[in-house]
Chains A and B, each alone.
Chain A
Amino acid sequence: MNSFSEAAGQTFSLLASADAKLVDIVLLSLRMSITAALIGGVIGLPLGAVIAVNEFRGRRTLIVILNALMGLPSVVVGLLVYLLLSRAGPLGSWGILFTPTAIIIAQTILIMPTLAALSRQVIGDAWHEYREQLRSLGETKLGAAPTLLWDLKFSLVTIVLAGFGRAISEVGAVMIVGGNIDGVTRVMTTTIALETSKGDLPLALGLGFILLFIVLALNAAAYVVNDTAQRRYG
């Protein structure tokens, strides 16, 4: 118990002094996770929209696979990306293993199916409601996807925020493909894991607080966005 209160005390002085090392780690984490969420969104949302409004062979199978991939174990993603990017792997010549790029790739792969599956669900429900009217007005299926994406933008922002939340709190894949290199690929989660095992609790706890705060702030933001949109746009 003592070690906890001691650590908590030191944590607050770390936070209060905006310790340079701590700030660096937080910024690096944010940068990578935001990038992954954006890339995941740019790929995942249109993919979800296209699957929602089109009928094609294998659509059901694709939906089941996407839904299943939402529960993708992150260490498995880490392992696969590691094998792809390692020197002997097919993309080894890129030389990006143990770089922030590798982390962004792993995080994107991890969250993209979630973004696609959730947006497919939201857009599919709306499509069910709009289909006849949009077809009546002469909208094509190709045109319907962007119309729906725009119409549902607030729900989709929430989905992207959820993806960001998963990316930033992810540890297994990031550890494997990033290598937890100090100052390069050491993010909040991997630092917490490392510092805890080393016994440096103040830094671990400080980062833990920040991570909790970010996740909390995200959820609050998602709630406010949805609630405001609901009241303004119905």
Chain B
Amino acid sequence: MRAPLSLLPLSLDKVVFEVGSRRIIDAISVSLEAGPRTVVLGPNGAGKSVLLRLCHGLLAPTSGVVAWNSAEIAGSSRRQAMVFQRPVLLRRSALGNITYALKLAGVPFAQRKERAMEALRKVGLEEIGAHSARVLSGGEQQRLALARVWALRPEILFLDEPTASLDPGATQEIEKVIAALHAAGTKIVMVTHNLGQAHRLGDEILFLHQGRLLERTPADRFFKNPASPEAAQFLEGELPW
């Protein structure tokens, strides 16, 4: 059997997204390749989260094209995943939340539990598999959301400010898991407001401003010497030094 063609690169061609007469995303064209971790930065209202949702297919562009290298077949399991700012978990056990996702992904019943347990181990939650997901702490819930992603083994993972409501300790745990996912071969595309995190986790930066993609720069260069004046201003405003 031939291995399925890779989803990546993901190409956006003049993608526009409007709500009423308000233009949230303004003609963004970009190609996201497998490999480097992409971090999306920009001030509030720049359209970062909307861009992620357009890529992931949760929103349909008003005009323009979002195209994968090989189209996902409708009805078959998804090879892309997303982690939201606030993890959405069902009222069942931690393990049950993962096996549910595996069921949707078409994983045979006999394999689900084992794969779910393995994913829980990867994020250090193997002890709480039987606990109810929604009574876990915020950090544990987000790790569980990442374990759910891990079990699905997606080619690309979108993260929308995954640590925005977590304390530093929990944030560190989440960053470890994201790094491990990347090391295991998953393309990372992350929106964050935390510049330190962008620095730690980003290989390249997409800088968005008022719905437009102003620059795409390797991370180390972006923080030292951003190409656009808006990005320079953004960094100045955000960085404490």
Verify A133–B104 contact, CB threshold 8 A: no
The verdict on A183 contacting chain B, using a C-beta distance below 8 Å, is no
Q: Shortest beta-carbon distance, B153 to chain A, in Å?
A: 14
- Please report the C-alpha to C-alpha distance between residue A133 and residue B134 in the assembled complex, in whole angstroms: 15
Q: Which residues of B contact A152 (CB under 8 A)?
A: 91
Asked if B88 contacts A129 (CB within 8 A), the reply is yes
B contact face: mostly helix, strand, loop, or mixed: mixed
How far apart are A116's CB and chain B's nearest CB, in angstroms?
22
CB-contact partner of B88 in A132, A232, A233, A234, under 8 A: A132
A130 within 8 Å of B (CB atoms): yes
Compute how far the CA of A226 lies from the CA of B212 in the bound complex, rounded to whole angstroms.
Answer: 48
Known: A234-B132, A234-B134. A133 touches B91 (CB 8 A): no
- A151-B90, A151-B91, A152-B91 known; A233 vs B104 contact (CB < 8 Å): no
- Collect the chain A residues with CB atoms within 8 Å of residue B78's CB: 136-138
Q: Which of B53, B81, B132, B152 contacts A232 (CB 8 A)?
A: B132
Contact between B84 and A133 (Cβ–Cβ < 8 Å)? yes
* Chain A binding surface, main DSSP class: helix
The A134-183 residues at the B interface (CB cut-off 8 A) are 134-139, 143, 147, 151-152
B135 touches A232 (CB 8 A): yes
Give the distance in Å from the alpha carbon of A231 to the alpha carbon of B81 in the complex: 30
Partner of B56, one of A129, A134, A136, A151: A136
Q: How large is the interface on A (under 10, 10 to 19, 20 to 34, 35 or more residues)?
A: 10 to 19
On whether the beta carbons of B101 and A234 are closer than 8 Å, the reply is no
> B80 CB to closest chain A CB, in angstroms?
8
- For the complex, give the distance between the alpha carbons of A143 and B81 in Å: 18
Q: Which of B53, B56, B91, B152 contacts A233 (CB 8 A)?
A: B91
- Find out whether the CB atom of B135 lies under 8 angstroms from the CB atom of A234: yes
Q: In the complex the two chains form, is B132's CB within 8 Å of A132's CB?
A: no
Q: Report the bound CA distance from A232 to B88 in whole Å.
A: 17
Query: Could you give, for residues 30-57 of chain B, a 1 whenever the CB lies within 8 Å of some chain A CB and a 0 otherwise?
Result: 0000000000000000000000010010
Verify A136–B58 contact, CB threshold 8 A: yes
| Closest chain B CB from A39 CB (angstroms) | 26
Task: Tell me the smallest distance from the CB of A229 to a CB of chain B, in Å.
Answer: 8
Closest CB pairs A-B (n = 7): A234-B134, A133-B88, A233-B91, A234-B135, A138-B78, A136-B82, A233-B132
- 30 A-B interface contacts by CB (under 8 A): A129-B88, A130-B88, A132-B58, A132-B82, A133-B82, A133-B84, A133-B88, A134-B88, A135-B58, A136-B56, A136-B81, A137-B81, A137-B101, A137-B104, A137-B105, A137-B152, A138-B77, A138-B78, A138-B104, A143-B104, A151-B90, A152-B91, A229-B91, A232-B132, A232-B135, A233-B91, A233-B132, A233-B134, A234-B133, A234-B134
